[in-house]
Amino acid sequence: MTDDDPFLRRNPSRWRASKLRRPLVLLAAVGALLAAGVAAQLVGCNAHEIGHAAVGSLVGWEVEQVRLCLPAGGGVDYGDVPRWAGNVQGYAGGLTAAVALWALYSRGIRRYQRPLRSPLWWAAGLAIALFIGPQLVLSLVEGSAGPGEDYTRRFDEQREVYATAIAASALAGGALHWWRWRAPWSKQP
């Protein structure tokens, strides 16, 4: 990051990364990261299951029960399951969750350039950005499963592949967040 970066001239930060050397500021930022991470997990997981149920209902599946993600993992129970629309319903969960998380990020964090206001907003945005990519990976895995196939077996059989894909997608979200809101780490006064 150089001094001639036009983004940094247009978007000055109200705080600097050097503030994180203060223990209370660092503790507050870590708290914001954890709290926003919990909120992002709950929003993402519940939107994921609601997306499965909504699209399942639209394509004619009989949805018996939606188990939301409080406090454990959620799920959707179906009564009558015609096989022809399984892939659409599989893709819908992760895509719905990614859209919900992006909306939360866009309206709650990105709007009014909040990450440039304080390290707490910056950390909260990072936590939400970390959860968007893994939901897209889950969407691809669930949607690509064949009719009647248990996609969770893929995770067990190829744990390293999927762990790497999920970690890489989370890190990509974090890197994009850092790049977009890089002003606190710049050398500019």
β pairing state of 75-78 and 63-67: antiparallel
The 3-state DSSP class for residue 81 equals coil
137 lies in some domain: yes
Please report the pLDDT score of residue 24 as a whole number.
Answer: 95
Q: Could you tell me where the DSSP H helices lie in 59-118?
A: 86-104
Point out which residues pair with 63 in neighbouring strands.
78
Please report the pLDDT score of residue 1 as a whole number.
Answer: 47
- Tell me the C-alpha distance between 84 and 104, whole Å: 33
Percent of the chain with pLDDT over 90: 52
The 3-state DSSP class for residue 65 equals strand
- Tell me the C-alpha distance between 93 and 75, whole Å: 10
139 lies in some domain: yes
pTM for the structure as a whole: 0.87
Please report the pLDDT score of residue 36 as a whole number.
Answer: 96
6 lies in some domain: no
- Tell me the C-alpha distance between 37 and 39, whole Å: 5
Length of the chain counted residue by residue? 189
Decide if pLDDT at 189 tops 60.
no
Structure-model confidence comparison of residues 19 and 70, the more confident one: 19
Retrieve residue 186's tokens.
Answer: 């710049």
Please report the pLDDT score of residue 27 as a whole number.
Answer: 96
Full residue range of the structural domain in which residue 34 is found: 11-185
94 lies in some domain: yes
53 lies in some domain: yes
- Tell me the C-alpha distance between 129 and 121, whole Å: 12
Decide if pLDDT at 183 tops 80.
yes
5 lies in some domain: no
150 lies in some domain: yes
142 lies in some domain: yes
The 3-state DSSP class for residue 149 equals coil
- Tell me the C-alpha distance between 40 and 33, whole Å: 10
Number of compact structural domains in the chain: 1
> CA 158, 37, 140: angle at the middle one, nearest 5?
35
